[in-house]
Chain A
Amino acid sequence: MNGDAPDGDDGGDASADGFHFDQARWSDGDRHEPLSSEKRTTEAEYDDSPLPDDLTRDELELPKLEEPDLVRHYTRLSEMNYGIDSGPYPLGSCTMKYNPAFTEDVAADPNGLVHPDRPVAGVQGTLSVLYSLQDYLARIGGMDAVTLQPPAGAAGEFTGVLVADAYHEHNGGDRSEIIVPESAHGTNFASAALAGFDVVSLPGGEDGRVDLEALEEALSEDTALLMLTNPNTLGLFERDIEQIADMVHDAGGLLYYDGANLNALLGRGRPGDMGFDVMHYNVHKTFATPHGGGGPGAGPVGVVDELAEFLPDPQVVEAPDASPLKYEFETPERSIGKVHGKYGNWLVLAKAYAYIARLGNDGLNDASAKAVLNANYLASQVEYDVPYGPFHHEFVASAGDQDAADVAKRMLDYGVHPPTTKWPEIVSEALMTEPTEIEGKRTLDQLARAFNAVASEDDETLAAAPERTTAARIDQTEAARDLRLSWRALDD
């Protein structure tokens, strides 16, 4: 495509690194691939039920595709879907890294695919991997103890908030407020609220960082926790982090680290060394496990020594010497209980362990270096204004007079996934961009051309985009006003 708008000389565009994008589009009249229910359905028989009639349902009709048709159905759907393996995916705050293929193989080891209620003697191998991962994560975060139970980042936040609550309660405190910067991830607010806290929103400073005066004002004897991500959502490091930690601690509160942006710090700074007391890791971001179309992820939580006794039940620990076992479970003395029915998302945790082992010290250090280099290089090539800096693994550009959502739709036509848009709100028409370390210069240049081509296009062109994707612009208002959430609703 090489910088030209994609509508134009489609056929003749063949420069050295130019390419043309058209997403697969299986069509069947006024729909794409028909729903499975529109292909073939069968009904269940209940005449031969081994149960009395009054305990059995009367009827059930569901789609049924024989294997060849099943394989085609979902293969076609996959062709109408864009993943990191398809192309660049610089979705800010989501750290869309390449997911190493071999980690799928280690997670698929049948010896690890076991029932969660096996006796511990039957899962020593599984516990060994979990124990080692607890250790790796503690080292990376500068934390003293880690739980792997939370199944996602938001679940990690919820866990951390519960741990902080239990700590304060144990120490006789009755603290009802959690302070969250205005520019924080939405989950911070929601997790604090789920745990029953009042959320105090902290306005940002003019430089895009925490405003110490505003923080001083927000802190009180009611403060249980300040939740921060660092670098923050603008990619800026909170330079005053030590002072912030002192202020929070002096007020009797604790400091929470939202690990969504940990990729910027790998090997270069550890939350534990900055004064954070509790943190979560987004292993599906920082440690390259696949995002699976929305999940599963994993959100392990690390804490300093003082908080370890409140961690979820159970922790994996080394068994005493006298035991015939190497690892066992232990319930922390003042555990908050459970945040997942069992032990979290095993498949995700196994992949994260393999990824960390593959990179090791040097690889992890290099990952943050290249992630930060990539963000800075891309920003230097993009014509949109980037108002805040120096940024690290991500930058937030402003689409200026253009509508950021339209910019995103148009970028799709250039064969790239667009950035996160319209957030954080401190930047008008925000384009929050995180290329991660996996892209080389050639791909970053391609991304920059996509940004710059769209920057020069008029509003009409943007509003008409996208045109090269499976679907043209989708009517969000119709979806919300005329709710059709199942194939039953389509028939109404």
Chain B
Amino acid sequence: MNGRETTGTPYAPHGDAETREMLDAVGVDTEEDLFDIPESVRFDGDLGIDARTEREIRAEMADELAKNRDLTELLGRGHYDYYVPSAVEHLADRSEFLTSYTQYQPEVTQGFLQALFEYQSLLVELTGLGIANCSMYDAATALGEAATLAERLRVTSGSRVLVPEHLESGRRAVLANYVAGTDLVVESYAMDDGNADVDALTDRVDDETVMVYAETPTVRGCIEEHLDALGDLADDNDALFVLGSDPVSLALLEEPASVGADVVVGSASALGLPQSYGMDLGLFACREDFVRQVPGRLVGASTDADGTRTYTLTLQTREQHIRRERATSNICTNQAWVALRAAMHATGLGADGLADLAKRDVADARDLAARVDDVKGVQAPHHDRHHLREFVAHTDQPAPAIGDDLVDEGYAVHVLDEHHVQLCTVGTTEAERDDFVAALTEVAR
């Protein structure tokens, strides 16, 4: 079946006799007779796509992907190369999970529903907020959804959404599109040495502000030190305080609920998903009193007719297939399988394992920054803050040229502007970081 050459689809089991029998049962001569397509818009079927065997496709794609350079990545900014245990890979690939769809029939999909309930619960523990949904597409769309939530919840007449000046460009661009259909206006507030400039923000926040967004760590890896003040500022002005973070950082840093966060968004794909060229898992948690305005799917506990505790999708009246243009979001297909993977990985690590990752990330970033700072022509960390995983370094020589030279040496780093690069430690070994510092020493002078 699988390896054979075929003239039809290899994934339909019909033999000729069987096809004939079915056509007879329907009462037509050929399959063509079943297509009610006017001649004028019929297509002749020649798409110019050659069929290949499995072996050929595997060889072709392996050859193509081998053209990706063998680079040691010191890359982060929202996507982190944590090791995903083989057990997670194998469990997630169990086809009862992988080949199922949305749990419209909960009686026959209890396994996935329970896993998603556990995923939601893990985020509730990490954020301290009352509820979490069972996924958005990525951190950027989760941020966009938070803004539309702020619009639905707003108690003022205002329309201002304040976001940090240091914000990953993809997140900023997606946010702009999510608010395009509203009267919301996105404005940046200034940073002070890698953290929110609280004084500047105080001047900016007013009763026209519907949402204040901050991140910890920031896109530059700085741990935000003013979360309490930011939460108070938002609260005093009846604005929603939305915090961006991720499950690894949350295992170490201040609990979002304790600093007044109303919503937590971000990327949860640090857990369970290897680097997948930007494929992600959007995290979305919020206060319980927002429950009827939450975007995305929610799994809740219930009881079945036998009195057994069970799980089911709930509050579906918020969703597009019922509420249509008045739905809380247009999302239907989400990232459930990635959420499953994140739950598996987190459950294997436990609170101690997760916190250990974050502690290591603080220590490794501190260590690498100190060593990079010793390199002639480089100063690090550029921001005098605590860092997690990554930091910005200042280069005396033009950073783009240094970035290019490092690629030639086998390293990928973020080039931020003319004199700044950003370096991330996750996924690199100590030996690789040693070699990197040596290479940087060569190219940065």
Q: CB within 8 A of A63: which of B138, B274, B350?
A: B350
Which chain B residues lie closer than 8 Å to A57 at the CB level?
250-255, 258
Contacts of A56 in B (CB 8 A): 252-254
In the complex, are the beta carbons of B223 and A51 less than 8 A apart?
yes
Flag if A193 contacts B326 (CB, 8 Å): yes
- The segment from B104-112, B232-240, B429-437 that touches chain A is B104-112
Contact of A483 among B27, B314, B349, B354 (CB under 8 A): B314
- Given the interface pairs A51-B386, A83-B100, A346-B278, the reply to whether A152 lies near B47 with Cβ below 8 Å is no
Contact in complex: A64, B277 (CB < 8 Å): no
CA distance A209 to B409 in the complex (A): 62
Residues of A within 8 A of B27 (CB): 380
Stretch at the interface among B175-183, B186-194, B376-384: B175-183
Given the complex of chains A and B, what is the CA–CA distance between A62 and B346 in angstroms?
9
The interface bits of chain A over 330-368 (1 if a CB of B lies within 8 angstroms of the residue's CB, else 0) are 000000111111111111101001101111111111110
Of A23, A45, A423, A486, the residue contacting B124 (CB under 8 A) is A486
A-B complex: 7 closest residue pairs judged by Cβ atoms: A342-B278, A360-B51, A64-B350, A196-B181, A292-B337, A116-B278, A341-B140
In the bound complex, CA of A158 to CA of B366 (Å): 42
Pick the residue among A112, A186, A296, A343 that contacts B68 (CB under 8 A).
A112
Residues of A within 8 A of B407 (CB): 119, 121-122
Residues of B within 8 A of A288 (CB): 11
Assuming the A-B contacts A153-B333, A344-B278, are A362 and B7 also in contact, with contact meaning beta carbons closer than 8 angstroms in the complex? yes
B445: chain A residues at CB < 8 Å are none
Chain B residues, Cβ within 8 Å of A488: 121, 124-125
A residues less than 8 Å from B171 (CB atoms): 341
Residues of B within 8 A of A295 (CB): 135, 333-338
Q: Establish whether residues A115 and B275, one from each chain, have CB atoms under 8 Å apart when the complex forms.
A: yes
Q: Are B141 and A155 in contact (CB under 8 A)?
A: yes
User: Is A109 in the interface zone, CB < 8 Å from B?
Assistant: yes
A76 within 8 A of B: yes
**What would be 23 A-B contacts, judged by CB atoms less than 8 Å apart?**
A60-B125, A65-B348, A80-B114, A83-B100, A85-B99, A111-B62, A155-B331, A190-B327, A193-B326, A267-B45, A284-B333, A290-B337, A292-B100, A339-B177, A340-B140, A343-B277, A359-B10, A362-B6, A376-B34, A409-B105, A409-B107, A418-B105, A470-B108
User: How many angstroms from the CA of A475 to the CA of B301 in the assembled complex?
Assistant: 10
**B46 close to A (CB within 8 Å):** yes
Q: Is the CB of B47 within 8 A of A140?
A: yes
Seed contacts A64-B352, A469-B108, A484-B301; 13 additional CB < 8 Å A-B pairs: A55-B225, A71-B91, A82-B96, A115-B73, A189-B320, A293-B112, A296-B335, A340-B137, A359-B10, A359-B51, A441-B22, A486-B130, A487-B118
B309 touching A195 by the CB < 8 A rule? no
Which residues of B, 132-148, contact A by the 8 Å Cβ criterion? Answer: 132, 134-135, 137-141, 148
> Does A15 reach chain B (CB closer than 8 Å)?
no
Contacting pair A341 B50 (CB below 8 A) = no
Q: Does A390 lie within 8 Å of B101, measured CB to CB?
A: no
At the interface, yes or no: B394 with Cβ under 8 Å from chain A?
no
B355 near A60: Cβ-Cβ < 8 Å: yes
Within 8 A of B (CB), among A147-185: 151-155, 157-158, 162, 165, 185
The reply to whether the CB of B276 lies closer than 8 angstroms to some CB of chain A is yes
CB-CB under 8 A for A60 and B251, given A186-B321, A190-B320, A377-B25: yes
Closest beta carbon of chain A to B347's beta carbon, Å = 5
A242 and B37 alpha carbons, distance in the complex (Å): 11
Interface centre among A58, A125, A412, A471 (most CB of B within 10 A): A471
A289 to B338, CA, bound (A): 14
What 0/1 readout, one digit per residue, does chain B (258-281) give for beta carbons within 8 Å of chain A? 100000000000000011111110
A88-96, A249-257, A396-404 - interface stretch: A88-96
Do residues B100 and A84 form an inter-chain contact, with CB atoms below 8 A? yes
Residues of chain B within 8 A of A217, CB atoms compared: none
Q: Is A489 on the interface with B (CB-CB < 8 A)?
A: yes
A126 near B65 (CB under 8 angstroms)? yes
A33 at the interface (CB under 8 A from B): yes
With contact pairs A74-B94, A291-B100 given, residues A115 and B50 touching in the complex (Cβ less than 8 Å): no
Question: Using Cβ atoms and an 8 Å threshold, which residues of chain A touch B417?
Answer: none
Asked if A64 and B353 make an inter-chain contact with CB atoms under 8 angstroms apart, the answer reads: yes
A67 interface hit (Cβ, 8 Å): yes
- B:308-326 near A, CB below 8 Å: 308-310, 312, 314-315, 319-326
Which residues of A lie under 8 Å from residue B81 when comparing CB positions?
Answer: 115
Chain B residue numbers with a CB within 8 Å of A362 are 6-8, 51
List, in ascending order, chain A residues with CB within 8 A of B279's CB.
151, 296, 342, 344-348
From B169, which residue of chain A is reached at the shortest CB distance? A338
Per the 8 Å Cβ criterion, residues 14-51 of B in contact with A are 14, 18-19, 21-23, 25-28, 31-32, 34-38, 40-43, 45-51
Q: Report A-chain residues with C-beta under 8 Å of the C-beta of B108.
A: 23, 81-82, 412, 417, 466, 469-471
Contact status A242-B96, CB under 8 Å: no
Shortest CB distance A430–B (Å): 13
B297 within 8 A of A: yes
Contacts of B69 in A (CB 8 A): 118, 121-124
User: How far in angstroms is the closest Cβ of chain A from B209?
Assistant: 21
Q: Is B95 an interface residue (CB 8 A)?
A: yes
In the bound complex, how far is the Cα of B109 from the Cα of A115, in angstroms?
Answer: 33
Question: Is B298 touching A162 in the complex (CB atoms < 8 A)?
Answer: no
Report the Cα distance A345→B301, complex, angstroms: 30
Within residues 404 to 436 of chain A, which ones have a CB less than 8 A from any CB in chain B?
Answer: 408-409, 412, 417-418, 420, 423
- Pick the residue among B35, B100, B298 that contacts A392 (CB under 8 A): B35
* A-side contacts of B404, CB under 8 Å: 119
What separation, in Å, do the CA atoms of A237 and B34 have in the docked complex?
11
